[in-house]
Structure 1
Amino acid sequence: MKVHEGSYVNGAWQPVTTAESVAVVNPATEEVIAHVAAGSAQDVDAAVRAARAAFPDWAATPPARRAARIAALRDAVAARADEIAATVTAELGAPPKLAQAVHVGLPVAVAGSYAELLATYPFEEKVGNSTVLMEPVGVVGAITPWNYPLHQIVAKVVPALAAGCTVVLKPAENTPLTALLFAQAVHESGLPAGVFNMVTGLGPVAGQALVEHEGVDMVSFTGSTAVGRRVGALAGGAVKRVALELGGKSASVLLPGADVAAAVRGSLANALSNSGQRCSALTRVLVHRDRYEEAVAVAAEALAGYVPGERLGPLVSAAQRDRVVGYIEKGIAEGARLVTGGPTPPLARGFYVSPTLFADVTPEMTIAQEEIFGPVVVFLRYEDEEDALRIANGTDYGLAGAVWGEPEAATAFARRMEAGQIDVNGGRFNALAPFGGYKRSGIGRELGAHGLTEYLHTKSLQF
């Protein structure tokens, strides 16, 4: 069993100040596969001090040189692709193909996009009699979740570095092994000491210490809305900049002109990817009453192909499995029609949940309002487009969505949805487009030029 006892601070691995550790569990086998250090507030302080000391030189480094270091980091991550993919499978449970294509492929592409963006990003521009400067915020505290352990790290750390900020990362305690591999790639890339630092540990200890530290200028957090509120309150109380990427309850709307079979299958592929453990999952499917039963039948047939242990991986932990099962039981209790799946474990071992489809769901039901974060999809009827829009927008969240139908009608409907990123007729994910939400889905944007801007102050000089 692997035991990792240190944090990465000031360009080297350092022992932490406590004897505490966090167990890493393989969710497919339920076996402990490693222990990592549980860093303390003192360890966070050392990391922040290192980041603060490194900031002036890194901020003054020309964008072209920062781009070269980020390109080297991308290459170092890509060189470890097989090891990272296997680690994501071991600690998250992602099927191997998904681990390679998405959990490694996407962050490598995102890192490369920032190396390229630095060649054209307008850090300085003329506006009338003013020169507008974009300057790095300072030391960034990045707190990342477990569902996309490498992508979420890259989506925060790399744009922060591109902006000229220095970073202290606190990765999720469920999936720290992937973060350790990222730190090793950073070390190999030749990034100056102190520019990137990492402390593993628990959210209420290391994470809170990072948010509260007076040496941190900005906090970027991805996770649940409940924890995000706490992070936002702490950071706001200290008048720090904060970026929050939180929960979702995204709707996929099938307009009357939609290809029902293609729309249903596309919605399910999105909703069940990563075992439904994604904040942008299209977990609410809205269908006109005249095509409703047809759509439910297509969904039931399609779900048969999502076999637990094969195409569908486990949930990350026993606690997450129990949470999702609790929502399934709540849906049954509130009167939704259970079409496929249910609360019974599909396998004797591992934190698996059967892909579950509910029909006859009404907008006020718990399973139609709260984020479940598992392989559970609910189908709702609507009467007309105004009713569909009311239902689609009728949650506290506004992260993502989808619309299917005649192109002009689908685009017009998408413009009226209260969400930050909407796919029209199966539009592909774009790593250069801004990602983030409305309402309680968060504050700020990640990816592309908008993601870089999050880590910059704006200054104007008048002449």
Structure 2
Amino acid sequence: MSDQPLRSYIGGRWVSPARSTQTFEAINPATEARAALVALCGPEDVENAVAAARAAFPAYSALLLDERIALVERLIAVFERRYDEMVTAISTEMGAPYDLSCNSQAECGPGHLKETIRAAKAMEWERAIGTGGRLVHEPIGVCVLITPWNWPINQLAAKVGPALIAGCTMVLKPSEVAPLSAQLFAAFIDEAGFPPGVFNMLHGTGPMIGNALTSDPDVDMVSFTGSTRAGIQVAKSAADTVKRVSQELGGKSANIVFADAGLEAAITRGVLHCFNNTGQSCNAPTRLLVEASAYDQAVEIAAEVAAKVKLGDPRDKGPHLGPVVSKPQYDKIQHLIQVGIDEGARLVSGGPGRADGFARGYYVKPTIFAGVTNQMAIAREEIFGPVLVMIPFADEAEAIAIANDTPYGLAGYVQSGDLNRARRVARQVRAGSVHINGAGQDYCSPFGGYKQSGNGREWGEFGLHDFLEVKVINGFDPT
């Protein structure tokens, strides 16, 4: 890996920080070797990036929709031509196994961009309203986009795509923990030929540049994905300038399994979904709620599924799990596994300590707890690792009560052989998306949560709305 620090992208040029000399070592979580050295920006770089975005806004926002779409289509073409580079970058920076990185993680880039184009073409950007009025959608302005490390391109494309299509200009701050995919995406933007200043990217930490970005009076909107704790700080920082803030935050999603669900398939699906991406997904079904009459059998099935889960090198093909992203994340997960044991939960599989067979790398044993109550810390805190808790319920009403007894509301899952019951329960789960019997989510569907899981919605037409202002021009068509 090169000793040359990764540079930021401002006004169409690759630049080093104006004053800061600090760097950050991004670590390959499978090898614990350095994956990249990142040159960290400071407040002066924020000023430069925001100024570049502000200067570019008038001309870019005035482009016709078809012209903006054509630019994004060029971006898609570059992305698809260099797709394998992105797969490697994601596996290297955050440990996603090759199959996951290729088929899901990297694929989210073109997937979101194409769906945003489709939604933009189908959207009614202007229409008559009232008596002679005209309702128009206009770009909100300069946007700050702050993205996490766990699904780096998914989150990046779900923000950058609609911002570009809407006519906004932007400053992206990706996670310094996983900078390679964002660096590559910025190179794609550059190659696609977007006007200078439309897209800017700053490498930096939250403490160094986060507040400067979110509080800047020349920024009109902030889109943030990350922890609820960090989201609270973002909202407070942005409040003084009354800018729009859209957030996708934490989750502790319940997976309700009734005894008639077809237990083998439902439990297998639930365990593997929880462990997908090594448990590092905000919408993971980490609380497995099982009807009491089937609970003991469900625990046995879950233990059998977990015993077959393999860990492996992210560079290898196959259906294995990779490491978690970093040493701090590994330590947090280990701490919470021990908390679960201390709370009296029954360890069904996994447990504390480095996974067997791995002398290096942040490999966590896939862990399942039974005998859990919803008041235990492991049932309430977002662990963000391959850790599943199993909780029994007596009837439909108790299942709904347990599912909703959480500060979060990002996702929910319901499994039942009675589709009417599944639909009824799904309507009562307080979450932004609910999945019945293993159904997935399309790029056109809104993604976001209730309560402390955030506000606003991303993906498809719903993602466009956060980057648009609504204006009514009265008397536009006088009668």
TM-score by length of 2: 0.95
2:381 to 367, 370, 375: 370
The residue that corresponds to 1:115 in the other structure is 117
Q: Which runs of 5+ in 1 are unaligned?
A: none
| Cα distance per residue 1:257-283 (max 9 Å; x no partner) | 211111111112221111000100000
Question: Which residue of structure 2 lines up, in the alignment, with residue 335 of structure 1?
Answer: 344
- Give 1:35's aligned residue: 37
Does residue 201 of the first structure (1) align with residue 220 of the second (2)? no
Is 2:452 the partner of 1:443? Answer: no
- The separation in 2 between residues aligned to 1:81 and 1:273, in whole angstroms, is 22
1:5 deviation in Å?
4.4
- Report the residue type matching 2:347 in the other structure: L
- 2:29 corresponds to which letter in structure 1? P
Amino acid at match of 2:346: R
Q: 2:40, 2:467 → 1: CA distance?
A: 28
Q: Which amino acid is the alignment partner of residue 385 of structure 2?
A: G
Q: 2:430 aligns with which of 399, 418, 421?
A: 418
Deviations 1:394-425 (A, max 9, x none): 00000001101121110111010000011111
> Do the aligned residues in 1 keep the contact of 2:108 with 2:153 (CA within 8 Å)?
no
SS of 1:398's equivalent in the other structure is: coil
SS in 2 for 1:33: strand
Alignment partner of 1:12 is 2:13: yes
Using the TM superposition, give the Cα deviation of residue 33 of structure 1 relative to its aligned residue in structure 2, in angstroms.
Answer: 2.3
User: Does the 8 Å CA contact 1:249/1:284 hold for their aligned counterparts?
Assistant: yes
Deviation digits for residues 154-192 of structure 1 (CA, Å, limit 9, x no counterpart): 111111111111010000010011110000000011111
AA at the equivalent of 1:59: S
Aligned to 2:414: 403
The alpha carbon displacement at 1:344 in A equals 1.7
Q: What's the secondary structure of 1:257's corresponding residue?
A: coil
Question: Cα distance, 1:361 vs. partner?
Answer: 0.3
Q: Aligned with 1:192: secondary structure?
A: coil
Alignment of 1:54-73 (within 5 A): 54-73=56-75
Question: Displacement, 1:87?
Answer: 1.1
Measured against aligned partners, the alpha-carbon deviations of 1:315-348 in whole angstroms (never above 9, x if no partner) come to 1100000000111000000010000000121122
**1:237 and 1:443 mapped to 2: Cα distance?**
19
Matched, 1:264 2:275: no
TM normalised by structure 1 equals 0.98
* Counterpart among 179, 182, 187 of residue 179 in structure 1: 182
Equivalent residue pairs, number: 463
* Contact 2:32–2:361 (CA under 8 A) maintained in structure 1: yes
Deviation digits for residues 104-139 of structure 1 (CA, Å, limit 9, x no counterpart) = 112211111112222221111122222111111100
**Matched-pair contact (CA < 8 Å) for 1:68–1:115:** no
Between stretches 252-261 and 195-204, larger displacement belongs to 252-261
AA matched with 2:407:
D
Amino acid in the other structure paired with 1:208: N
Q: How far apart in 1 are the matches of 2:119 and 2:400?
A: 36
CA deviation map 1:183-238 (0-9, x unaligned): 00000111111100001011111222111211111111000000000001111222
Q: State the SS of the aligned residue for 2:91.
A: helix
**How many angstroms apart in 2 are the aligned matches of 1:231 and 1:355?**
33
Question: 1:356-387 deviations in whole A, cap 9, x for unaligned?
Answer: 00001001000111100000000000010000
Q: Which residue, out of 79, 82, 85, partners 1:83?
A: 85
Q: 1:21 aligns with which of 20, 23, 36?
A: 23
SS of 2:106's equivalent in the other structure is: helix
C-alpha contact (below 8 Å) 1:95/1:312 kept by paired residues:
yes
Equivalent residue runs for 1:7-406 within 5 Å: 7-17=8-18, 18-129=20-131, 130-309=133-312, 311-346=320-355, 347-405=358-416, 406=418
Tell me, in whole angstroms, the C-alpha distance in 1 between the residues paired with 2:15 and 2:291: 59
Assess if the C-alpha contact under 8 Å between 2:295 and 2:392 holds in 1. Answer: yes
Q: State the distance in 1 between where 2:452 and 2:440 align.
A: 25
Q: What is the distance in 1 between the residues matched to 2:47 and 2:436?
A: 46
